[in-house]
Amino acid sequence: MAVTAISLAVAAVPESLPAVVTLALALGARRMAARGALVRRLPAVETLGSVSVLATDKTGTLTEGRMVVQQVWLPSGAIALSGTGYEPYGDLDIEGHFLTAEQLRPVRELLTTVSLCNDAGLRPPAERSDVWTAVGDPMEAALLAAAAKAGCPGPAELRQTHPRTGEVPFDSGRKRMTTVHRTPDGTTLICLKGAPEAVLTPELLDDPSEVLATTRRQAAEMATEGFRVLAVATAERTRSPSAAEAEHGLRLLGLLAISDPPKAAAAATLAACRAAGITPILTPATTRRQPTPSPYAPASSRTARAARSSRVRSWPQPRTPTSPRSASSPVPTRSRNWTSSTPGGPEAP
């Protein structure tokens, strides 16, 4: 019986089948190589031919990854910004009219706030080039370019006049970033930027509910137009606040509408996928940690923050023993977000 079973199994497979399959996969690999796709293993050709869903990121994949602030929205009105890329040159206008000094004042306050609550930088054009580039997060670099267009102080000047004394970094759960600065007159300035749904709440802002409702509607309208939207708030204190106090009682400054132009070939590529029976699905990077990512969510520059790690240290919380450890070997419980670079900050007990 065993010999009969083996004989039937061998007879069921044609002798030339392996050669035919290998030849078909090799022809497929050759066609893909002609289109610029290098196949390392032949079975991958069959896998690619069976693809029915294509998951893709947006920023830098379907878009150019060069963000530009196109609109500043204030409770008093909207201001349009011109310019391309990360060049710190452009004009501000309201319905085609240049801003007066009185109209420009709240715009500069908002853009100075996002310049302080920022870890990015702008690199001037190199030799044989006229293109400004971003250092750090592209979105934060776009905020610096917008601030330069409005005539705000540069990052180097702000670091001297408003040194950072603390920060609550951005993460996908909070969807906002907060920094604390010491002003020249000795007061404390709090700067916050983040997703509108995470900022426009009574827990953070002291503005009237009517203003918050109007701002939420405006943020939703900007988002439907394809913009990435940021809400900006600030507050001034007479003393340095704790981590919990820093994000309460703030004053809303306005919204920023940021665009990221799509690549020229993005539309044709997506159309070709649909024609081949492949369904494209947009999966933002935040979906790795956040089941329902926000279309407004910003991202902070970890590279720039790592460069400051030598002078910014965490504020530890009191040590508490935890089970099953004994009380003789307590485990310190540290605040993961709140950091301070104040020389006289609290020390670990």
d(CA 163, CA 159): 5
Residue pair 248/205 in contact (Cβ under 8 Å)? The answer is no
d(CA 255, CA 70): 11
d(CA 175, CA 300): 10
234 exposed, middle or buried (CB, 10 Å; 0-12, 13-18, 19+)? buried
Catalytic residue among 57, 91, 93, 206: 57
Q: For this structure, is 57 an active site residue? A: yes
- Residue by residue, DSSP assigns 58-97 as STTTTB-S--EEEEEEETTEEEEE---TT-S---EEETTE
How remote is the C-alpha of 28 from its chain's centroid? 39
Residue pair 99/93 in contact (Cβ under 8 Å)? The answer is yes
Active site residue ranges: 57
